[in-house]
Structure 1
C-alpha cells in the first residue's frame, strides 16, 4: 500500500472478470489481463469495478480478484478497488481492500435509492473515513454531489479524486475551477476517449480506458496526440477506431462490459466472450464488426512489433 495522497494520472486500466467453462473466475486469465495492462504502461489498475462486473461477483470472488491484482502489480502502480452498494457492504469492502493491500478505492453509487445532498455526503463520508486508504468519489447515476458537498468532503485527507461519469460540464467547470488541484480529476464517461478532448482543458488529467484491455496502444496514441495538439492524428483515430467501436457499444445495454471481453477474445487474450446476467455476450454480428475495426486498427496503427500473447 502507498500513503501518497494523490489520485492516479494518465490512462487507467480496468480489468474484466474473466470466467472459465464452469462460470468461476479464471485466475490465469485475470493475471494475464493485468500483466498485459502493466506491460503496456497503464498508470493504475482498478480491480473489481464496473468493467470487473462489481455487480455480479461474490464476496469471495471480490477478495480473490483483489489478491491477484495486488500480487501481480507488486507495487509497480497503484491498485484501486471498487466499493459501493449499501453502506454496510461498502464499508466492509473498503476494509477488505485495506487488509488485502490495495492503495485505494473508487466509491460506486449506492444501490437504487436516491438521496438528498446531505444523505449522499454522509454516504461518502462514512466510506471515506472507514479506512486510511485513498478514496475517489464517482459522479454518476443516483450519486451526484454538487460543489458544497464535494468541498466538505475535501476536509478528509483520504479523498484524493473525483471521477465523472455524468458529463455535466457546467458542474465540472464549477468543481474544477473552485476546488482546483486539491483533487485529481478523472474522466469516467462511457468510452472516455470520445469525450476526453472536452475534459483536458478543465484539468482532467486521467481517464478510464475500456479499450485499453485490448488496444492500449490506440489509447496511448490518441492521448499523446491530444496532449500534443496533433488534431489530425486525433481525428484519424476517432474516425478509424474510437467512433466505430463506440457505435457498437451503444447498440446494446451492457456492451460497455461485454464488448471489452469480445475485443480481448479477438486479439488472442485468454478470456471468453461471456458475462453474467443481466449483461449479455456480444452478438455475432457486432463481434464481426469489431473484428473488422480491430483489423484496421492494427494495420494502420501497428503495435511496434510487440507480441499480443
Structure 2
C-alpha cells in the first residue's frame, strides 16, 4: 500500500444531542476528496476515537468507505484495550477498510516485548495490514520495529513522539530489514510545522488535521513541499501554521477542538467535541476565525499555481 498526498484525518460530526451524524460525515469526507488526499483515516485521533463506542466506530468507518468508493485507501483506527483493538480490527475489515492504524494500549504501560505482542495480535485478528502508531504508551525501539517489520502485515509507522534521533534510528533499522515497501509518516500535531525536518530523516509523508478544516491551504502547503518551493512553504508556515500552533498550544486537546471549530466556522455544523475535550471560548474562536481568513487569502493567492 502506497500513499500519495496529504493524509486526511476527518472529524466525527455529532448532532445537537451528541449522537454521531453520518450524513454530515459523508459530506465532510466527500468535500475533501476533490483535494486529492493520499489516504483517509476515519475514527482516529482527529475523529475522537477515544470517545466513540465500537458501534459508532464501525458506522463511521463504513460510511467513509462508502463515500471514498475505493479512490484512496481508508485506514480505520483501532487500539485501546487489547480485546477492544482485536474486535475493532475485525469490524473494520467487515466495514471494508483497507488497513488499520493501531493506536496505543489504554492506560497501562508495558515493556517492549508486550508492545510487540500487542501489535502482532491486532495484526492477526483480521486480514488487514497494520500501521503502528508510535506515541504515548506505545513507544517502540529500533529493534522492536525491526522485528515488527519482519511481519509483512505491519506496513508502516506513524511517529507521534517527536524524538528525531529515535525516529532516525527506527528508519535505519527498518531499512536494514529489507522492507522497501514500509511507509513512514509524521504524525505530530500540526505536522506541517515539523515536516521539513522529518523529510530529512527519510519520513516523507505526514498527517494533516488542517486538511480536514481548510483543505485548500493544506493542499497548497503539500504542493509547495513536494515541489521544493521553500519560499512558499515557509511563508505558509509563518503566516498560517505558526499562529495556529500558538493557539492550539493554549489548551490540551485543541489539536482536535480547533479543527472542529474551524469546520463549523466554514459552514458545516459538525457539532462539539466529546469529553474530556473542550470547545474554544469566544476569544479563541475569534482568533481562529482571523487565522482562517489569512489561510483563505493565502490559498486564493497560490491557487493558480499550486491548488488547481
Question: Contact 2:79–2:85 (CA<8 Å) still a contact in 1?
Answer: yes
Q: Select which of 266, 270, 289 maps to 1:291.
A: 289
5 Å-filtered alignment, 1:113-262, equals 113-180=108-175, 181-262=180-261
Aligned residue number for residue 81 of structure 1: 76
**Which shows bigger deviation, 179-188 or 236-245?**
179-188
Q: CA deviation at 1:45?
A: 0.7
Relative to structure 1, is the Cα distance of residues 9 and 164 closer, same or farther in structure 2, using a 3 angstrom cutoff?
A: farther
Regions of 4+ moved over 6 Å: none
- How far apart in 1 are the matches of 2:137 and 2:69? 35
Q: CA deviation at 1:244?
A: 0.5
State the Cα deviation string for residues 153-190 of structure 1 (Å, max 9, x = none). Answer: 11211111000000111111111123233411011001
Aligned residue number for residue 104 of structure 1: 99
Aligned residue number for residue 3 of structure 1: none
* SS of structure 1 residue aligned to 2:289: helix
* SS of structure 1 residue aligned to 2:6: strand
Aligned residue number for residue 15 of structure 1: 10
Q: CA RMSD in A?
A: 1.4
Question: Contact 1:133–1:158 (CA<8 Å) still a contact in 2?
Answer: yes
Is 1:48 matched with 2:39?
A: no
* SS of structure 2 residue aligned to 1:22: coil
Q: Select which of 276, 299, 306 maps to 2:274.
A: 276
* SS of structure 2 residue aligned to 1:47: coil
Q: CA deviation at 1:210?
A: 0.6
State the Cα deviation string for residues 94-151 of structure 1 (Å, max 9, x = none). Answer: 0111111110110000001111111111111111122111110010101111011111
As a proportion of its length, which structure holds more helix?
A: 2
Question: Contact 2:86–2:121 (CA<8 Å) still a contact in 1?
Answer: yes
* SS of structure 2 residue aligned to 1:65: helix
Q: CA deviation at 1:304?
A: 4.5
Question: Contact 2:6–2:205 (CA<8 Å) still a contact in 1?
Answer: yes
- How far apart in 1 are the matches of 2:238 and 2:183? 30
Unmatched 5+ stretches in structure 2: none
Relative to structure 1, is the Cα distance of residues 228 and 8 closer, same or farther in structure 2, using a 3 angstrom cutoff?
A: closer
**Which shows bigger deviation, 85-94 or 181-190?**
181-190
- How far apart in 2 are the matches of 1:204 and 1:10? 13
- How far apart in 1 are the matches of 2:5 and 2:184? 11
